[in-house]
Structure 1
């Protein structure tokens, strides 16, 4: 379906100048499972005449072995169900392949035309689009954004200082992301994008524009809107006309395009015998592009200056500058993150150790994951796409494959050995280090850090890739982990905040490693609460609040923690979930953390209606667990969706546990069932099933359009 007329009217308000049109949607020309492989030289004579070409011809043999080993490791150990890769060198595909799993879990060769969601690699497309407009003289990236989107407003007057450059380098100071109803199964509803300006209009900034870079999806939604306003055309159409047709891209699309959804690589969940419906990331500039590995490397040629007719060399070089160094940043030079314009890193480690400039962008939706690494001075790009897994895994795998290719093609002599680590030797900690003990906050949580006898214990970080362990003082203001891989320090930064800094060499079995340097948490001042506020927050402590306005076909129901907020009250310090408590019903974001752990911040606002407490946060409305009643345990009932929300939650009472729920519901409606740990038992939008056995102590949520009536039957079988 097309974007709403409301949206069309909005981008018509901008400049009437339309861009030159060159691309129309092209039909899918090749089916899945089509032949692929390295493009060989035309003849043996050509190889003899061009030793470099001969080296490139032989190189994929070793690189292919490495690439397939990476794919096998990802499938075996990291939840990947399909993987596709390609390397392009001097405009030619020299390596292409991958593996996919069928419905029975059997492996087969993947079709080179199979399409994946590229997630946040989509940010490179919208960044390039904005820079194309700059090349055309239609925008200046250091002019106020309000000149191009005059109805963009926020409650914080500093928003008038935001520029397109700040959106592209993540330094605008935006809270981060509005995810509500953004990633849907088989549904390209654009309501998330359509409500962008309204959502931002009631928010403030978390930092001065340009003060530091911290990942912000909403900034790239604003870039998408800028492209539409200035060009006068729908964003998907802009991509087709300015990128797709000149490059002859047959398999690069957005959810708003008409194309064969059967070309998308299947997305699968454990325990489900069939693939899920197509995943639509309907936030196009942020994460909504589909492509395949070969076409993504061709777009990589645009980003590295090989197509100046599309993107000028001046714009390419501007995108590759180390923008992250303009503001507050960790002092390390070796890091997986170092923002340019759009790029996650413009000096990706370890390529610098070989004297090679490398830029990278990773991307994640719920089910698709991607990595693009480009070597702008060598005209080489690699893309690694998966269904399942993580962009971090893809980037590590792509790095190892690309290094192997560089070695085999004679561009580097050898691949450097992995670093080794020793158990740290503890030394006496200076007494003045104790000033860094105390309360620290990050997005969503607070923690107390103690520094006793030169030791500190830290919980797991980076989703468990850095394990929980004890760190000992090893001198120079640093604490080193038991395994020697991770080092902690405390930085007093120029913005007046003290940060816990982490540097870690993370090893991922079978796919290589990565160097991460980031601020984990910010030291917080105690926030003394008046008695009434402390009492109100004490009552909420430990309670869970459930989102009411997420469509039932959202992929977030697969990971319900995204749709819940459990309140953690830090009474001594006066914080809750990392936010600073203002009064009995309000708390505001306290974290101003550059890079990773400062993203997607939120405020907390509580209201009451009819004796039930509701929470407003990150653009969503949540209901307290106290307001969730039991599911009727009798044979038949009807659940009606109210006008105020998309879903209704119910607790599964003991009388209903073990019974089989069967629901008859209108198109677009459905339900999800969770056990007492929050793990999904059944998600009708994902499986297509209308039945589920209800677990003891679990939850069931019904959803649909306002007024939808879902018939429910419970039977004990």
Structure 2
């Protein structure tokens, strides 16, 4: 089976409605262009290449749902269509719900947004003493400085009763990547801490709080924390539009664990229209941009104007026309969500689908059509593109930006050519840095490549950074920052190798392996390859620290006394230490480790009964996922296997007894 790819990012939009009784339905004729656009997108998503099998779209205007429809099949095996009550995971749109919950507690006098979290939540501690400066507000706008996400058991086939506790425990061993308030890299753990805060101050589970304070009062009858145990109207997700995937349970509840419909999201978003569930002061705070400290050093607006739970509190092209449009994306391994909200006209566009899409670009045409059709923005004119500025001499400080940079996905080196007034961007490609971009300086530290993409070099809070400029708009986002120069010669125990997790759980949906390596040009950094390529500063014989303040989901590796590599909440073994599989070996799992690995170098036929509660994963020699009993279901019998690694997984004492014969041989 193919290995599932990680979705970036988990996101949601929380909005407020005038009152549930104000939600009415009317005929769709006045919104013909909007409806045609929505139908075209819905039909396209289920037919174009990809893994989307079910789509739901709803549109609200002036507080009334004017369009709602489903596309594809929620259940391919039973040929069941998508309807208005079909439920999907909404991913990070869940973040707006925890933000509203915190504001409700503030209205009750239980806390203030600028209270220190450590003063309110005794169980919240970190190794880094700066954690004491983290405020409640910082949990909700991505500026806390926490590393990112506790992945272990975050996306599972079962509900985890310990995920919240485990995350707080993991944070207790973690450090910050920047001063609280300084930068705003996306951070799921902040919302998990906010969930712990709600439960601590209210004395009830967060799902109960949501049901009592939000779901029931707003009549969100199709919204809940996760799918129901006996779900009768859910959109299943499929690999290659044919193989049903396990039901996805998102245990990162406050950050991405809610389940809903497009219509319910419209009803919920209506809460942003005027004070109702939230009072006027809370509503104003909820809709306001939350700025990190670094924006004071920028001469650009941000592309993502984070709010309390929102990805953006204004969409620049519409903001320039005097229309505030809020938005929140949501993505899990199996589902994608987009929510646009226009409080002034009480308009909402919600799209949810099974499978992965780019949510903003796919949903924006519906929002655009609605705004034009209702006269909120003018039709597009025939504006001639602005004349491209010419080449300018390099700025006087250009040499201060030379060096090595880190981004979420790769390492780069920036150099300059004074004769051509250009910046050269080299990307590390495994063995060496290769030229990827040559961009001319067009003035004021801004560079343009041959395709028209523009970059800016700026120093933010003392850190040199490369920014991507958003088209012709005065917006930019930090793409990468320069790595600090470190002294050489620190002795350490890290090596170049690959690592496999030994505490992977039988219901975890995503198996991640890691590799550690070095680059000659950066001898004081350990390069960790997992879902991205991240350099970490080697700080001791067994430890590393984060060196990139704006990269999300960092996990600085460290060596344990037994030689295992600790990466976030995962314990990993060096593949060089994995024992060969012995025919008819009796393998006990679940005592010290929930995952026991064996390797096979020969071409064999592998067989093994899977005990109750157990799981087997087979990786090829290139670590590609060949077989997984959680997905493939069938017991491995004469599974042809040309060498690689086998994981035997259970979370309680369990015995596996695998056997194998050479491929082509007889058992």
TMscore range, shorter length: 0.7 to 0.9
Cα gap change, 1:59/1:677 in structure 2, threshold over 3 Å: closer, same or farther? farther
Task: Return closer, same or farther for 1:328/1:111 CA change in 2, 3 Å cut-off.
Answer: same
1:550 corresponds to 2:495: no
Tell me what 1:606 maps to: 559
Contact 1:373/1:383 (<8 A) preserved: yes
User: What's 1:481 paired with?
Assistant: 449
Tell me which of the two structures has the higher relative contact order, counting C-alpha pairs closer than 8 angstroms and 6 or more residues apart.
2
Match of 1:472 among 440, 443, 467: 440
417 and 684 in structure 1: CA distance in 2 versus 1, 3 angstrom threshold: farther
The match for 1:86 is: 58
Q: Which residue is equivalent to 1:510?
A: none
Measured in 2, the distance between the counterparts of 1:472 and 1:623 equals: 47
**SS of 1:471's equivalent?**
strand
Shift in CA distance, 355/77, structure 1 to aligned 2, threshold 3 Å:
farther
Matched, 1:131 2:79: no
Take 1:676 and 1:81, find their aligned partners in 2: how far apart are those partners?
Answer: 32
Q: 1:652 aligns with which of 588, 591, 600?
A: 600
Q: In structure 2, which of residues 483, 500, 521 is the aligned counterpart of residue 572 of structure 1?
A: 521
Distance in 2, matches of 1:685 and 1:703, equals 11
Cα 1:263–1:679 shift into 2, 3 Å? farther
Residue number in structure 2 paired with 1:114: 86
Contact 1:330/1:518 (8 A) holds in 2: no
Is the 2:75–2:235 contact (alpha carbons within 8 Å) kept by the matching residues of 1? Answer: no
- C-alpha separation between the residues in 1 aligned to 2:204 and 2:147? 28
2:537–2:545 contact (8 Å) kept in structure 1:
yes
Q: What is the DSSP-based 3-state SS (H/G/I as helix, E as strand, rest coil) of the residue aligned with 1:522? A: strand
Match for residue 477 of structure 2? 518
Could you tell me which residue of structure 1 aligns to residue 13 of structure 2? Answer: none
Deviation of 1:144 (Å)? 1.5
Report the structure, 1 or 2, having the larger helix content. Answer: 1
Whole-Å Cα distance in 1 between the matches of residues 305 and 49 of structure 2?
Answer: 28
Alignment partner, residue 500 of structure 1: 466
2:488 to 516, 519, 529: 529
**TM-score normalized with structure 1 length:** 0.80
1:469 Cα offset (Å): 4.2
Question: What corresponds to 2:18 in structure 1?
Answer: none
Give, in whole Å, the separation in 2 of the partners of 1:606 and 1:151.
Answer: 26
User: 2: CA distance between counterparts of 1:630 and 1:123?
Assistant: 45
Flag the 1:201–1:408 CA change in 2: closer, same or farther, 3 A. same
The 8 Å contact of residues 170 and 214 in structure 1, kept in 2 or not, is answered as yes
CA drift of 1:675 comes to 3.0
1:394 aligns with 2:336: no
**Alignment partner of 1:261: what SS?**
coil
What is the CA-CA distance between 1:261 and the residue it aligns to?
A: 2.4
8 Å CA contact 1:114–1:263 kept in 2: the answer is yes
Question: 5+ residue gaps in structure 2?
Answer: 1-23, 430-434, 528-534
Matches of 1:116 and 1:551, distance apart in 2: 24
Distance 1:363 1:418 in 2: 34
Q: Distance in 1 between matches of 2:576 and 2:207?
A: 44
Structure 2 residue 156 is matched with structure 1 residue 184: yes
User: What is the rounded CA distance, in whole Å, between the counterparts of 2:81 and 2:36 in structure 1?
Assistant: 14
Q: Deviations over 1:196-227 (max 9, x none)?
A: 22111122222222223221111100111111
Corresponding position: 1:268 with 2:238: yes
Q: Are the counterparts in 1 of residues 220 and 268 from structure 2 also a CA contact under 8 Å?
A: no
Correspondence 1:342-357 to 2 at 5 A: 342-357=309-324
1:556 counterpart SS class: coil
What is the distance in 1 between the residues matched to 2:520 and 2:294? 33
- When residues 531 and 694 of structure 1 are mapped into structure 2, their CA distance, relative to the original with a 3 A threshold, is farther
Q: How far apart are the structure 1 equivalents of 2:629 and 2:570?
A: 22
1:63-97 Cα deviation digits (max 9, x unpaired): 12211222344341443222211112232211112
Counterparts of residues 54-453 of structure 1 (less than 5 Å): 57-75=28-46, 76-101=48-73, 109-185=81-157, 187-255=158-226, 258=228, 260-270=230-240, 273-302=242-271, 304-306=272-274, 308-324=275-291, 326-328=293-295, 331=298, 336-390=303-357, 393-415=358-380, 426-430=391-395, 432-442=397-407, 446-452=411-417, 453=420
Structure 2 contact 61–347 (Cα < 8 Å) conserved:
yes
Provide the rounded CA distance (Å) in 1 between the counterparts of 2:265 and 2:131. 34
Mark the CA change 1:502 to 1:584 in structure 2 (over 3 Å): closer, same or farther.
same
Per the alignment, do residues 202 and 93 of structure 1 end up closer, same or farther by CA in structure 2, a change over 3 Å counting? Answer: same
CA-CA distance at 1:111 after TM superposition: 1.4
Counterpart CA distance in 1 for 2:384 and 2:83 is 37
1:579, CA displacement in angstroms? 0.8
Q: Distance in 1 between matches of 2:648 and 2:471?
A: 44
Give the 3 Å change call, closer, same or farther, for CA 501–282 of structure 1 in structure 2.
same
How far did residue 455 of structure 1 move?
A: 3.9
Partner Cα separation in structure 2 for residue 419 and residue 638 of structure 1: 73
Cross-structure match for 1:640: 588
CA positional deviation for 1:553: 2.1
Q: Residues of 1 paired with 2:82 and 2:515: CA distance? A: 42
- Secondary structure at 2:316 match in 1: coil
How far 1:377 moved relative to its partner?
1.6
Counting matched residue pairs gives 622
Deviates more, 1:211-220 or 1:410-419: 410-419
Deviation at 1:647, TM superposition (A): 1.1
Which residue matches 1:35? none
Look up the SS of the partner of 1:691 in the other structure.
coil
C-alpha spacing 1:326/1:359, structure 2 compared with 1 (3 Å): farther
1:240: Cα distance to partner? 0.7
Give CA deviations for 1:132-181 in whole Å, capped at 9, x if unaligned. Answer: 11112222111121332123222222222221111111112212211111
Gaps of 5+ in 1: 1-37, 42-56, 462-466, 507-513, 558-562
Instruction: Give SS of 1:79's match.
Output: coil
The 3 A distance-change label for structure 1 pair 548 and 314 is same
Q: Which residue of 2 aligns with 1:17?
A: none
- CA contact 1:673–1:700 (8 Å) conserved in 2: yes
Distance in 2, matches of 1:134 and 1:292, equals 28
Specify the alignment match of 1:675 in structure 2: 620
Report the secondary structure of 2:122's partner residue: coil
- The match for 2:658 is 712
Aligned twin of 1:44: none
TM-aligned CA deviation for residue 667 of structure 1: 2.5
- Give how far 1:254 is off: 1.0
C-alpha change, 1:599 and 1:165, in structure 2 (3 Å) is: same
CA deviations 1:560-585 (Å, max 9, x no partner) are: xxx22211313433112211112332
